[in-house]
Chain A
Amino acid sequence: MLEPALADRHFDAIVVGSGATGSAFAAKLTAAGKSVLILEAGPDRTREQLVSSTLWARRLKWNGAPVLEAGANPVGHSFNAGFGVGGASLHHYAVWPRFHVEDFEMSARYGVGLDWPIRYADLRPYYDEVQQEAGISGDATAEAWRPDGAAYPMGPVPLFEQGRIIARGFERLGKKVAPLPLAITSTAYRGRPPCTWDGWCDAGCPIGALANPLTVYLPDALSRGAVLVTDTPVTRIVASADGTRASGVLVKGADGSDVELTADVVVLAAFAVQNPRLLLASRSAAHPDGLGNNSGNVGKYIMSHSAALVYGIFDEETHYYRGAFGGQLVNQDCYPKNTHAEDGAFGSYQWMIANAVKPNDLLGVATTRADLFGDELHEFMRRAARGFASMTGVVEGLPSASNAVTLSDEPDEHGVPLAQVTHSHDERTTALWNAALADGKRIFEAAGASEVWTGPQGAMHIMGGTIMGSNSGNSVTNEYGQLHDVRNVVIAGPGLFPTSAGVNPTFTAIALAARSARHIAQNWRDVARG
């Protein structure tokens, strides 16, 4: 909780959110000698709380102000977001592939989607830096699709029965597989033990094998003097009278009163929905439509990946519960954007192959056949216990200005309007998702599955909403995440992405944060001036 004395202290930077990018930002700024206050809306988390249970894991999910969802394809905020120290990355699966060169140049190359204000080459050094700090296990050479970059600091994750069996299908169809790049230790690494591959990633990793904020970045930031305050939601960003800079934030004190905390720089790292919500709610005379929203772009271009879920039962024992939740192998043969153009599809997807799952929960075995009940369900569970296997396609969602975070008329307990997220997939995305499912079924059949089925078009990851761009007319921030309108407010996280790519977002979000933090630290005086 907030100590009253903090209100009297001025920080160099306030970081809102203690998840993947907030922690990385705090670590980088403290390394540059800056004083940092990290404000976390949710409770403290420790490794000792990370109980190996799918039921317990639900406590790590979103618990803050309700998020209203609309549209044909809701983003599944309560499932995808986190709450408390570590944020969503405390329960993330640590699949850390890089975005491809073309993901940054979608409009220029294909006339579809948006362009980033940076190119892959601009981000590459930060991918390399972050993968060394956080530790990624993989085989860069085997990833034939991977853009240029340093080799992984750890060797690949082990291959278990499920992975070997599914790989057979890829090989029989002339497709490649490579070890899945995971921010999980395959060997002892920088004081962290190797993973034991028990498949409890979703419940949070208590042994420090998975690179979540309790293991990397946040401890560094705290050891260098960063102050972490939990259970303290930010209700507003406070702007100067002329609106050119932010002076700090308003939070709720323990007694419910408003407390102003001041800093030279405010970093918003509260994920893709709460960041725009906070900006939109921070209206003032100089920013009547919300902070940083003079061009009306705040909240727009919310994106999600479609999960292409493919399941099968094999006659062999798969040991589906072993390995990492994210999987064992990767395939990106269908990354070229027009691979399935004949189906009306556009975009990229990758396969995360051989996910470790548990019998229950939303992604568990039982849910894959939600149509079964009664004795049939028991019989299925027993059959699946021996030979169940799965893989998940990460299907690119396209940016659309109509997919947006807006404010509802309903306030939360502190009077801040709730966020409403409206999201529907482009027809080309749904066509791509269908093509991926057909592809996946063929692969499982080729691998020898006796039963093959697929899941619904679930939402996976949330991106966009505060996108970066070349100017204030087409985006919310510049290439470093600074609001075009208020340069000492900096956005961190996947909300910055103008396009979603066909891979998992966390690695790219942290690499962006590392790049941004370096720029801000090196240009502190200019940034702080606003």
Chain B
Amino acid sequence: MSLSRRQFLRQGGVGLLAFTVGGCTQEMTPQEARRRGAALQVLSETEVAGLERLGETLLPGSAERGLAQYIDHQLAANPEDSMLMIKYLGVPRPFAPFYSGGLAAASVAAMQLYDTELAKLTDEQSNALAGRIASGELDDWQGPPSPFFYFVLRADAVDVVYGGERGFADLGIPYAAHIAPPSRWGE
């Protein structure tokens, strides 16, 4: 049975983006891109692993919804077409150094506090680290201001989980689009 466009978007969280799998560019959701192992364009595998660990801590389910793939896709796009919230938070373009810098600083903090890679923190450790990032309590933090990094990454996770038709449906509220997000954009 074929899915209607509305049903497909509901399953797709933030909608369809263009990802590359096996050398071919295809439209898929960030969630599907993650499942199918779409090629990363900006972030490294290590950064993605750390990002997913933090993302899961900030909003469980965000990694599975393709948080890292969504951010990576947006960072690779023309900043003018970016849909990341950071775009209007006063951060100079390009935005990749913000994410890389924050993730690097979080990785250092994970090693200092727990002698463990960021991606391998336990839930308890990751929760504690997220709390310290949010409150700016990490004295040796070398990156964008840690409360701001927390704010931005948390917002990205919320976008991926609750920012599309599926997220609205999860909350039981109508999306009621005048014009639904199209299948192709930012290209």
| A242 contacts B by Cβ under 8 Å | no
Cα separation A370 to B157 with both chains bound (whole Å): 12
Determine if A69 and B90 form an interchain contact, defined as CB atoms under 8 angstroms apart: yes
Judged by a CB distance under 8 angstroms, whether B89 is at the interface is: yes
Query: Which of B58, B89, B176, B180 lies in contact with A373, CB distance below 8 A?
Result: B58
For residue A375, which residue of chain B has the nearest CB? B60
Q: Which of A19-27, A143-151, A357-365 contacts B (4 or more CB under 8 A)?
A: A357-365
CA distance A525 to B171 in the complex (A): 62
B:164-187 near A, CB below 8 Å: 164, 167-168, 171-182, 185
Kindly state whether residue A321 has any CB partner on chain B within 8 Å: yes
- Chain B at the A interface: SS class: loop
Q: Interface size on A (CB < 8 Å)?
A: 46
Write out the residue numbers on chain A whose beta carbons fall within 8 Å of the beta carbon of B80. 59, 63
Q: What secondary structure prevails in chain A residues at the interface with B?
A: loop
Encoded as 1 (CB less than 8 Å from any A CB) or 0, chain B from 71 to 92 comes to 0000000011111110111101
The residue in A199, A359, A360, A375 that gathers the most chain B C-beta atoms within 10 A of its C-beta is: A360
> In whole angstroms, how far apart are the Cα atoms of A373 and B59 in the complex?
6
Complex-state Cα separation, A361 to B168, whole angstroms = 13
Interface residues of B in 93-112 (CB under 8 A from A): 93
B59 contacts A374, C-beta separation under 8 Å: yes
A55 touches B159 (CB 8 A): yes
A-B contact count (CB 8 A): 135
Interface string of B57-75 (1 = CB under 8 A from A): 1111100000000000000
In the complex, which residues of chain B have a beta carbon less than 8 angstroms from the beta carbon of A205?
A: 178
Residues of A contacting B178 with CB < 8 Å? 50, 52, 196, 198, 200, 205-207
A56 to B181, CA, bound (A): 8
- Is there an interface contact between A366 and B162, defined as CB atoms closer than 8 Å? yes
User: Contacts A373-B58, A374-B57: A61 and B85 contacting too (C-beta < 8 A)?
Assistant: no
Residues of B within 8 A of A360 (CB): 155, 158-159, 162-163, 167
* Interfacial residues of chain A within 357-394, with CB under 8 A of chain B in the complex: 358-362, 364, 366-367, 370-371, 373-375, 377-378, 381-382, 385
User: Which bucket holds chain B's interface residue count?
Assistant: 35 or more
Q: Say yes or no: A373 contacts B163, CB within 8 Å.
A: no
Bound complex: CA A205 to CA B177 (Å): 11
* Chain A positions within 8 Å of B127 at CB level: 374
On whether the beta carbons of B179 and A51 are closer than 8 Å, the reply is: yes
Q: Which of B60, B88, B93, B175 gathers most chain A CB within 10 Å? A: B88
Residue of chain A at shortest CB distance from B56: A374
Query: A373 contacts B130, CB within 8 Å?
Result: yes
Task: State A61–B150 Cα separation when bound (angstroms).
Answer: 22
Q: B83 touching A370 by the CB < 8 A rule?
A: no
Structural contact, B88 and A58, CB atoms closer than 8 A? yes
B58 engages A374 (CB within 8 Å): yes
Q: Is the CB of B179 within 8 A of A52?
A: yes
- Contact: A359 with B172, CB < 8 Å? no
Of chain B, the residue at the smallest CB distance from A52 is B177
* Residue from B150, B173, B182 having most chain A Cβ neighbours under 10 A: B173
Query: A51 contacts which of B60, B167, B182 (Cβ < 8 Å)?
Result: B182
- CB-defined contacts of B150 to chain A, threshold 8 Å: 373
Per-residue CB contact flags for chain A residues 187-215 toward chain B (1 = under 8 Å, else 0) read 00000000010111000011100000000
Residues of A within 8 A of B154 (CB): 366, 370, 373, 377
Q: Which residues of A contact B171 (CB under 8 A)?
A: 359, 381-382, 385
Instruction: List 26 A-B pairs, Cβ < 8 Å.
Output: A50-B178, A51-B179, A51-B181, A52-B177, A53-B15, A55-B159, A56-B181, A58-B82, A59-B80, A78-B88, A78-B90, A79-B88, A206-B179, A359-B163, A359-B173, A360-B155, A360-B163, A360-B167, A362-B155, A366-B155, A366-B158, A366-B162, A373-B130, A375-B60, A377-B154, A385-B173
Given contacts A61-B87, A366-B162, A375-B60, 13 further A-B contacts (CB under 8 A): A51-B181, A52-B175, A56-B83, A58-B83, A62-B88, A66-B92, A74-B90, A200-B176, A205-B178, A359-B168, A374-B59, A377-B154, A385-B173
Please provide the 4 A-B residue pairs with the shortest distance between their CB atoms, ordered closest to farther: A52-B177, A78-B88, A360-B163, A55-B83
Residues of B within 8 A of A (CB): 14-15, 57-61, 79-85, 87-90, 92-93, 127, 130, 134, 150-151, 154-155, 158-159, 162-164, 167-168, 171-182, 185
